[in-house]
Amino acid sequence: MDILMTGGTGSIGRVLCRQLLKQGHKLTVLSRKPQTVKSICGEGVESIVSLADLPPSTRFDAIINLSGEVVVGPYWTENRKKVLWDSRVGITEQLLDFIAKAEIKPSVLINASAVGFYGNGGENVIDEDSTGSGGFAHQLCDGWEKAAAKAEEFGVRVCVIRIGLVLMPHGGMLKSMLPSFRLGLGARIGNGRQWMPWIHYLDLVAMIEYLLAKPNLRGAYNGVSPNPVTNREFTASLAKSLHRPALLFVPAFILKLAMGEMGQLLLEGQRAMPKRFLEAGFEFRYPQLDSALAEIIV
């Protein structure tokens, strides 16, 4: 396939690029720093700096849209929220403009989203049929998904993958957690009862490949393990994998003071299940948290 990818230099995108290259696909990555693309994504990857520069005769068989600034980062001011919105919804709308003008349309658009779409699920088991609600995180995901869905008007198959907390060696949530846990300063967050829908990065890459290869699959899919855990359970498992104690906790009010609205991402959770992936026959390599951490942490 000839594939256009956004977010290709991100932590998941770079792994996916190299995997797709091995399979013989041709890749073009949208990047503000095209000079870095080959070193990050692989020597066989081409790069572009603007979708507007592509002529209507440009043909791609598939588009994978992973673009998006990190959500847990700078304080959620109105300006920061606009950056987050533009990096997701704005880029997706640019892709729609390209698709509208393209003389030959791509067959599929695989678009990232997040389990934040569902808001705070409490103890409820959540699958792809569950409705979303909540604050800015839900609004961001909802706007992102609705922008992607417009590609269906051009006969493009659209798959949205609502990604959970990604576990990987040199990125994702573990990058910020491991230093304190290695020092024996790991801590649960709040009461620790909030659910954490996690996913091993190799399973997430395989999920995207699966959606790419199965022309009968469309709509929303939860990119999570079939075995979510609570924050208390995750904290204990991570500490165990490092042979360290984890006796501390971060009070909820401290997070709210330090992070404001963004703190709700850590204090709320979703007991999300990958119902549609399981129904489609997808097989997880790392369905259990202990084995997933054991593969990552060396």
CATH code assigned at 118: 3.40.50.720
Amino acid code (one letter) for 286: Y
In DSSP notation, 217-260 reads --EEEEES-SS-EEHHHHHHHHHHHTT----EEE-HHHHHHHHG
Scan for tokens 């699966």, then name that residue: 210
CA–CA distances in Å: residue 10 to residues 172, 205, 209? 10, 13, 17
- Pairing mode, strands 195-196 and 229-230: antiparallel
Question: Which amino acid, residue 132?
Answer: G
What pairs with residue 114 in β-bridges?
Answer: 163
Per-residue pLDDT of the chain (298 residues; tens, 9 = 90+): 999 999 999 999 999 999 999 999 999 999 999 999 999 999 999 999 999 989 999 999 999 999 999 998 889 999 999 999 999 999 999 999 999 999 999 999 999 999 999 999 899 999 999 998 879 999 999 999 999 999 999 999 999 999 999 999 988 889 989 999 999 999 999 999 999 999 999 999 999 999 999 999 999 999 999 999 999 999 999 999 999 999 999 999 998 888 999 988 899 999 999 999 999 999 999 999 999 999 999 7
Q: Identify whether 4 is part of a domain.
A: no
The pLDDT of residue 67 is 94
Q: Give the up-direction half-sphere exposure of residue 52: CA atoms within 13 A in the CB hemisphere.
A: 2
- Position 167 in a domain: yes
Alpha-carbon span 163 to 175, nearest angstrom: 17
Q: Is residue 44 part of a domain?
A: no
CA angle 248/251/256 to nearest 5° reads 140
- pLDDT score of 170: 85
**Which residue in this structure is represented by tokens 């957690």?**
177
Structural domain tally of the chain? 1
Query: Tokens 């992102």 belong to which residue?
Result: 144
Cα three-residue angle 122-127-132, rounded to 5 degrees: 60
Distance CA 69, CA 90 (A): 12
Instruction: For residue 244, tell me if it sits in a domain.
Output: yes
- Residue 218 placed within a domain: yes
Please tell me the pTM assigned to this model: 0.96
User: In this structure, is residue 33 part of a structural domain?
Assistant: no
Predicted local distance difference test score (pLDDT) of residue 16: 97
**Residue 267: inside a domain:** yes
Could you list the residue range(s) of the whole structural domain that residue 199 is in?
A: 50-296
Asked if 52 and 43 count as a contact pair (C-beta separation under 8 A), the reply is no
Asked whether residue 26 is domain-assigned, the answer is no
